[in-house]
Amino acid sequence: METTKQDKTETGSGAPDALAFLEAEHRAVEKLFTAFEKAADDDLEAKSALAQRACEELSIHTMLEEELLYPAAQEALPDSDAIDVEEAYIEHFLVKTLIAKFETMKAGDKGFDATFKVMSEMVGHHVEEEEEELFPELRKTPCDLRALGEKMAKRKAELQGKLDAAGSKLVGDKTLAG
């Protein structure tokens, strides 16, 4: 039986498989980066809101990948591909470090735009590696991407609920992960 695109990307519940789910999140964050880039230099309110939203999205996204995707990838992939996963963990650490900088900066501060630009570039590199290397390798494994996608959708809803309840000031706070 031939596998269609829909078979690969949707679960029976209508939720996307894990990789389609993450790719959709990648596109959403890319839109925030593009909007920030297009914002006028003196539109500090827009820049602040876009940076905050990007940090929130990235915080939740990194947790989903670290809690669910990467452990599944390490189990499913041969040891030679484990390096890709280890590299992804390091890239996440660097992005989380930049996110933390935004807790002490505000739009208009020296280095705010540069920090956001560097974060955008790092995330772009990370996304490219995941989508061109890690994801295709995972698709070849017996890993149940549908079940993983359902777990991700459920966990994202939990994390978003905690974020909403805690307020955006706690984006990088450990309370979100617990």
Note the pLDDT tens digit of each residue in 23-62. 999 999 999 999 999 999 999 999 999 999 999 999 999 9
pLDDT band for position 168 (cuts 50, 70, 90): low
pLDDT band for position 163 (cuts 50, 70, 90): confident
pLDDT at 14: 60
Q: Residue 16: is its pLDDT beyond 50?
A: yes
CA dist list (Å): 163 to 57, 67, 109, 175: 10, 17, 25, 9
pLDDT at 2: 36
Note the pLDDT tens digit of each residue in 77-92. 887 667 789 899 999 9
Phi and psi angles of residue 10, each rounded to the nearest 5 degrees, phi first = -125, 145
Give the total residue count for the chain: 178
Spatial separation of the C-alpha atoms in residues 54 and 59, rounded to whole Å: 8
pLDDT band for position 173 (cuts 50, 70, 90): very low
Note the pLDDT tens digit of each residue in 59-118. 999 999 999 999 999 999 887 667 789 899 999 999 999 999 999 999 999 999 999 999
Half-sphere exposure in the Cβ direction for 22 (13 Å, CA): 25
pLDDT at 12: 45
pLDDT at 101: 95
For tokens 């829909």, what's the residue? 6
CA dist list (Å): 147 to 29, 153, 171: 24, 10, 27
Spatial separation of the C-alpha atoms in residues 21 and 18, rounded to whole Å: 5
CB 172 within 8 A of CB 159: no
Q: Residue 9: is its pLDDT beyond 90?
A: no
Highest mean pLDDT among 1-5, 65-69, 162-166: 65-69
